[in-house]
Chain A
Amino acid sequence: MTNSWTDIKNTDLVVIMGGNAAEAHPCGFKWVTEAKANRGAKLIVVDPRFTRSASVADLYAPVRQGSDIAFLLGVINYCIQNDKVQWDYTKSYTNASYIVKEGYGYQDGLFTGYSEEKRDYDRSTWNYEVGEDGFVKTDDTLQHPRCVWNLLKEHVKIYTPEMVERICGTPKDKFLKVAQMIGETSARNKVMTSMYALGWTQHSKGSQNIRCMAMLQLILGNIGVRGGGMNALRGHSNIQGLTDLGLMSNLVPGYLTLPADADSDFATYMSKRGFKPERPGQMSYWQNYRKFFVSFMKSMYGPAATAENDWAYNYLPKLDVPSYDILRAFDMMHQGKMNGYFCQGFNPLLSFPNRGKVQAALSKLKFLVVMDPLQTETSRFWENHGEYNDVKPEDIKTTVFELPTTCFAEDEGSLTNSGRWLQWHWPGGTPPGEAKTDIWIMAQLHRRLKALYQKEGGAFPEPILNLHWPYKDPVDPSPVEIAKEINGYVIEDVVDPADGSKKLLEKGKQVAGFGVLRDDGTTACGCWIYSGCYNEAGNNMARRDTSDPDNTGAYLKWAFSWPANRRILYNRASADINGKAWDPSRKLIEWDGAKWSGYDVPDIAPTAKPDVVGPFIMNPEGVARLWVRNTMKDGPFPVHYEPFESPVANVIAPKIRGNPAARVFKGDMEVFGDAKEFPYAATSYRLTEHFHYWTKHVQVNATLQPEFFVEISEELAKEKGIKKGGWVRVWSKRGSVKAKAVVTKRIKPLMVDGKPVHIVGIPLHWGFTGAARKGFGPNSLTPFVGDANIETPEYKAFLVDIEPITSGPVA
């Protein structure tokens, strides 16, 4: 989230699209209710199902799953055609005026540089025109035919209300009402917030779904302001933290990146990072990359990281592919290329797409280690549970370890919420049986592996032998010790060059924040964006002061918000080019002639002049991007692509299947179904009574929603002769499930390109362990393909067929 849960109360319009906050984030949704009750805010819900969020909305518009980009580009087109643009914001804070190099183009769903064979682009033409002064050329009058604004205008013009209705199935009058309400927030004193979740991410063009709304929010002037923003409602309690800390194949903590094969040495690596400003006077904050990276390496390797060995640069593994994400991992496993796998609290057998492939992949492992507080299906993938897990244990040669871990109630530490708040918690119960914390387990594994390398030697042991391990009890580090390591500390005194008697930094102290980190080995910091969380003032994540001056919803003294305790990202953009709030009633920070100050920690250097330094300091441009260069794999602008399995052909580019730049592994394309064989558009979803596959282990929740079902419209039920509560079989080209049918008015067929499209909703919460009845889930059916940019699987849009059957599964 760019903003926080409590900030939602400041909005005028909430758009829930790609999520269902009332059911999936109920206590956060209360802030929508607060805004409606106290400010008269309106709520729009756009969703294929009439959800509980929709039931309290001022306006509900149906949309076919997988067609969000067409809808949103339609809204952008409406705003441009009807002059619903916050012009001063758009001109000053976005790249609308930037001129794009000649040679770039777009036609029939493809940008310049596409290779069908590689399913990828040569992105060299996707660039700005650069002047002799080395800066990007701009045209402030927005007249240049190749300025971003004119390219955008041209790009979105086909997405008329009629086209939106044809692609999305949203009736034109409903769409126009939505567009009109959104357009009104282009006024300086009107603000809209976007609340989205997996309904946008889990598509083969998920990143562009989100980008599309970000572009809309920018031209309306709704980013960086109270009650505005792009608010990703994250799923698990610390998935934000795990991502921030870089637990992904290609990351180093704090959104630094691992080197690739081509980054043969540290100098080459750095030459591709730490970007210089592309417009005069801009901060381009990644210029500090080297300080964050060296401080990380000091945290990781301590005295073994030196200036002479380029801070142990070669200890880091290098990537030969963009990422070893879960889809690639399980494809490798399926090919027999992996021997070992660890699941630290996770349930791939049920959570990953195409369960058949996942089951076969796990069966090829030599060993699997599962650490979990609960008995998961993954740790029991080799057990036969009749139709629910029809395997032969004797054929599965995998050695499986199940290690019991503590749960939240028995563990201490911090979690990062969706709004970037790091909150500390304490243990209250003794762990059951022999359960241990994950910290203890990881420390044990590291120490034992290290001992083996000390004794026996082996392949490149240095990074393991020299891993910095400065804990009082090496086999059981304390959460406080690690939190301090993440915050960062001073390794050597740093003396003021102007005054030798004055110490700028004192050895052994915690650093105050990332602003003092250095690239000379004198500071260590585990994750620069978290720096400040545990400094000399103490554990800031444990702060519990609920004061909130003027009730802005910021709560600056509650816990710690990254970065630098900032509550609203890009908050400099809440003020105009002279540093005055766009809307005086929603003041956030302002320029007083000498410095920035206000209700939040300024997201800009405190003395940066407002008419010189742009608000988007992480971009070398200093402004936000309506059009991007090579940072998106599938195009500088979003384009409507159908899901890989779609009930209709792509109206704007009939020859293109799915996202043309999405990676598809050999064997997976062959098992995509088409509409002739599988006529119904399925989507997965979650229930308010359950959380993933955890709460089926909880007696109360297993009682509230005991049994797997699928949800269909009355029209489809009639057509197929399916009774309310009767058994059905649902199948895709990859698998088949049996379920009870819930026949409902909440789902209605949509008219798409002249024909009715039926939707099948498939909730995700059942398996073969726990207190609930045994059941199936959508992932027996879902396709094994991910988003072109970050490989989130396409769980939200696929094709199935359905038929009534006489009885349920035999366990």
Chain B
Amino acid sequence: MNIEVSRRHFLKLGGAGVAGTAIAAFGFGDAEAQVAAHVRPFKLANATEVRNTCTYCSVACGILMYSRGDLKKGEKAEIYHIEGDPDHPTNRGTLCPKGAALLDMVKSETRTLYPQMREPGTKTWKRISWDEALDKIARLMKDDRDQNFIKANKDGATVNRWLSTGFLAASATTNETAFLTYKAVRSTGMLVFDNQARV
């Protein structure tokens, strides 16, 4: 199960190889090397190929992403081409005007790159470290929870809820992210908890 047969192997054979072999079959042995030298290597021949799912709507079209470098080998990888997965039963290789431009989403100039903080009343962001951001947020959470946690309602029944801080969960993250988020959020007693299903 899950054997990743890479399109890359096929392409390596396909690019220069096929042209040369066909000519050789006609008996032009010497021509083979000359022709091969002129055939531009297919641009994805040396790419790492990875399967993913389009991030937009929930048709969930299969996509193939091509990168320089292989994350599985611990390398840095830069995606430079994305296309529809022809083996996927739903989209069969096609993509819509949004999916066809996925590469520009990955490479958008307005992606977030560093943790930032904006202080009360100020007009600008300040770059901060992950440690500083996470410690500050955890402190804000704890202080608010300790001050406003409701252990029992007015009739004395145990209710264990925290209402003064809320959480909006994403709708394009993975199920695994979602479950871990559920655990982390619900364990605090937070009830103001919703997702994008409504909008």
Contact A373 B111 (CB under 8 A): yes
A606 beta carbon closer than 8 Å to chain B: no
Chain B neighbourhood of A235, CB < 8 A: 57-58, 171, 196
A628 beta carbon closer than 8 Å to chain B: no
Closest to A250 in B: B191
Closest to A403 in B: B115
Query: What does the 1/0 interface line of A320-357 toward B look like (CB < 8 Å)?
Result: 10001110110011000111111111101001100000
Query: What does the 1/0 interface line of B164-199 toward A look like (CB < 8 Å)?
Result: 111111111111111111111111111111111111
Evaluate whether A326 and B168 lie within 8 angstroms (CB atoms) in the complex, with A317-B190, A448-B135 already known. yes
Closest to A27 in B: B91
B37 beta carbon closer than 8 Å to chain A: no
A337 and B76 alpha carbons, distance in the complex (Å): 46
Chain B neighbourhood of A413, CB < 8 A: 173-177
In whole Å, how far is A789's beta carbon from the nearest beta carbon of chain B? 11
Query: What does the 1/0 interface line of A457-490 toward B look like (CB < 8 Å)?
Result: 0111001100110000000010100110110000
Closest to B90 in A: A5
Output the residue of B125, B164, B183, B199 with the most chain A CB within 10 A: B199
Contact A688 B96 (CB under 8 A): yes
Chain B neighbourhood of A452, CB < 8 A: 138-139, 142
A417 and B2 alpha carbons, distance in the complex (Å): 20
Evaluate whether A342 and B168 lie within 8 angstroms (CB atoms) in the complex, with A239-B195, A245-B178 already known. yes
Contact B166 A238 (CB under 8 A): no
Query: What does the 1/0 interface line of A218-256 toward B look like (CB < 8 Å)?
Result: 000000000000000111111111111111110001000
In whole Å, how far is B198's beta carbon from the nearest beta carbon of chain A? 4
Evaluate whether A341 and B176 lie within 8 angstroms (CB atoms) in the complex, with A346-B196, A399-B119 already known. no
A438 beta carbon closer than 8 Å to chain B: yes
In whole Å, how far is A420's beta carbon from the nearest beta carbon of chain B? 10
Among A134-142, A168-176, A538-546, the one that faces the other chain is: A538-546
Among B6-14, B17-25, B99-107, the one that faces the other chain is: B99-107
A655 and B100 alpha carbons, distance in the complex (Å): 50
Chain A neighbourhood of B125, CB < 8 A: 402
Closest to B161 in A: A317
A464 and B172 alpha carbons, distance in the complex (Å): 26
Chain A neighbourhood of B142, CB < 8 A: 449, 452-453, 456, 458
Contact B115 A337 (CB under 8 A): no
In whole Å, how far is A293's beta carbon from the nearest beta carbon of chain B? 14
User: B172 touches which one: A345, A439, A453, A769 (CB < 8 A)?
Assistant: A345
B38 beta carbon closer than 8 Å to chain A: no
Chain A neighbourhood of B160, CB < 8 A: 314-318, 460, 463
Evaluate whether A407 and B106 lie within 8 angstroms (CB atoms) in the complex, with A245-B175, A261-B153, A442-B177 already known. yes
Chain B neighbourhood of A442, CB < 8 A: 177, 180-181, 184
Contact B167 A437 (CB under 8 A): no
Among A119-127, A274-282, A423-431, the one that faces the other chain is: A423-431
Contact A701 B97 (CB under 8 A): yes
B71 beta carbon closer than 8 Å to chain A: yes
Output the residue of A238, A418, A464, A558 with the most chain B CB within 10 A: A238
Among A149-157, A692-700, A797-805, the one that faces the other chain is: A692-700
Contact A438 B173 (CB under 8 A): yes
Interfacial residues of chain B within 121-160, with CB under 8 A of chain A in the complex: 121-123, 125, 130, 133-142, 144-146, 148-149, 151, 153, 155, 157-160
Query: How many residues on chain B are close to A (CB under 8 Å)?
Result: 121
Contact A402 B179 (CB under 8 A): no
User: A401 touches which one: B59, B136, B145, B195 (CB < 8 A)?
Assistant: B136
Contact B170 A793 (CB under 8 A): no
User: A247 touches which one: B2, B57, B178, B198 (CB < 8 A)?
Assistant: B178
Contact B97 A344 (CB under 8 A): no
Chain B neighbourhood of A394, CB < 8 A: 121, 123
Interfacial residues of chain A within 499-519, with CB under 8 A of chain B in the complex: none
Chain B neighbourhood of A430, CB < 8 A: 69, 71, 76-78
Query: What does the 1/0 interface line of B65-107 toward A look like (CB < 8 Å)?
Result: 1110101000011110010000101110011111111101110
Contact A383 B199 (CB under 8 A): no
A446 beta carbon closer than 8 Å to chain B: yes
A75 beta carbon closer than 8 Å to chain B: no
Closest to A437 in B: B177
Closest to B87 in A: A546
Chain A neighbourhood of B115, CB < 8 A: 401-404, 434
User: A448 touches which one: B48, B54, B138, B155 (CB < 8 A)?
Assistant: B138
Contact A241 B198 (CB under 8 A): no
Contact B57 A320 (CB under 8 A): no
Contact B166 A700 (CB under 8 A): no
A444 and B166 alpha carbons, distance in the complex (Å): 18
A165 beta carbon closer than 8 Å to chain B: no
Contact B79 A429 (CB under 8 A): yes
Among A364-372, A593-601, A672-680, A736-744, the one that faces the other chain is: A364-372
Contact A428 B65 (CB under 8 A): yes
In whole Å, how far is B168's beta carbon from the nearest beta carbon of chain A? 5
Contact A694 B56 (CB under 8 A): yes
Chain A neighbourhood of B136, CB < 8 A: 401
Query: What does the 1/0 interface line of A397-410 toward B look like (CB < 8 Å)?
Result: 11111111101111
B interface residues, Cβ below 8 angstroms from A: 1-2, 48, 50-62, 65-67, 69, 71, 76-79, 82, 87, 89-91, 94-102, 104-106, 108-123, 125, 130, 133-142, 144-146, 148-149, 151, 153, 155, 157-199
Contacts A340-B164, A340-B166, A413-B175 given; 7 further ones with Cβ under 8 A?
Answer: A6-B89, A401-B116, A402-B118, A423-B53, A538-B2, A539-B2, A558-B89
9 residue pairs of the A-B complex, CB under 8 angstroms, read: A5-B59, A249-B192, A324-B163, A344-B170, A404-B111, A415-B60, A437-B177, A467-B184, A539-B2
